Structure 1
Amino acid sequence: MGYLKGLQPYLEKNYERSIFDAAAQSRKPWELHIHGHRVIACKIYKNLKYDILSSQPGGGEMHLSKLQIKLLYPLEVASRVRGMIRIDEEVRSMNLDPILAAGARRFVKNKSLFPLMMSREVVFFTLLEGEVIRGIIADFSRYDITVHLKGGVPIAILRHAIYDLKNRRGRSFLKDFQEEQRDWEKSDLYVP
C-alpha cells in the first residue's frame, strides 16, 4: 500500500494543534463567523474541550460551542476578509444546521489536503451556510484548516463547517468522492 511522502511527519508535528489555542495565546481580538449568519468580535481566553471561553468588547465572559463556529481570523484583517467571502445562494437556501455527529460530517481526508497544500493549488471551500472561501491551504490540523486568501491574508476554517472543497476545475475533494477517485495517488508526493 502506498503513502504520501512527508504526510506522516507533518501530522505528527501539527495534527493536534488548534487555532483556538493560537488565538488565546495571541491575546488579540478575533472575528468569528457563527452559524445563524452571525459575525462577532471577541478575545478568546481559553480553549476548552467542546467550547471556547471568550469575551466580547464591552461584555462579560462568554462560552461558545466550537460546533457553532465556522471560521475565524484576527480582527485586524477583518475588513479585507469580509470583502473576499462570496456566497453560494443554492447552499445558503438549504438552511443547513451544524452537523453534530462527527460521522455525518462532510469530511476531507488528510491525504487530500496534504497534496493540495504542498502544491499550493487554489481551492474553493464552501461552508454549510453557503460562504465560499477561495485561497491556498497553508496548514491543517485535526480541527481546522488555515487558508491564505489573496494577498496572503490568513483565515481558519473549522473542518466541521465544510460543505464542499473543490479545485478550479470543480473537482471535489470530499471523502465520499475521493474514496473512488483517489487523487492523492496522482500527486508527485505519492510513493506506490
Structure 2
Amino acid sequence: MTSGEFGSSREKCPYCGAVYRYASSSFDEEGRVSCQNCGKVFGAASTGPSIGGQGLEIDVEPTTPFRTPSLFSEEAVRVKCPHCGAKYLYKDEHRTEEGKYRCQNCGREIETDGERVVIYETRGDSGPAMNGAIAVLLLIIFLFVPIPIMIPAILCILCGLGVSRATGFDDTDHVVVGKSDQGPSLD
C-alpha cells in the first residue's frame, strides 16, 4: 500500500479487507502484522514479495463457520495497554473520572484514547438447523416425558440457550469494525 510519514504504513488485510495505518514497531521480525479488525496475521504488502517465498504469508482457517451479520450492536473503544500489551474493548462507561481506562490485566491506567470501533453481533451455526433440533427435542419431551419432569427439562433447555447466547464477549459472536475506516457513519 502506501508508506506514510513518521515510520508508518497503510496496510490492507487480505482476510477482511480492513485498511489500517501501522507503526513500524507493529511489525515482527518477518515483516508480519496482526490485523486490528479480525486479528489474523499477514505479511505487509509494503515489504513486497521476495524470491524464496518470503512474501505474503496467509494463515488459512481449515473451516470457517457460517456467520450472518446482524444489525449494529454498540460502539466501543479498542485499547492496547502499553504496560502489559493486553487488548480490550471498552465502552465509554468504563472510563475513570480522569477520562482514562484501567487495564483489566495489570490494573494500570491507560493514557491513550484508543480506536473507535463499531461492534456487530453475528449468528454462528445456531441458525435454522439449531432451531429445528430444539423443536424436535421439545416435541419428544412433550410426547414422552411426564409433566413433573417435563417442566424443569424445558426450563433447563431454554435457560441453556439464553446463557449460550449471552455469555461473554466471544469473537465468534461479534464482529468489530473500525469506525473510521470501515464502519458506517452513525453520527
| TM-score past 0.5 threshold | no
TM class, shorter-chain normalised?
under 0.3
Normalising by structure 1, report the TM-score.
Answer: 0.25
Query: Greater RCO between the two (CA within 8 Å, min separation 6)?
Result: 1
Instruction: Determine which structure has the larger strand proportion and give its number.
Output: 1
Bigger fraction of residues in helix: 1
TM-score w.r.t. length of structure 2: 0.26
Q: Whose Rg is larger?
A: 2
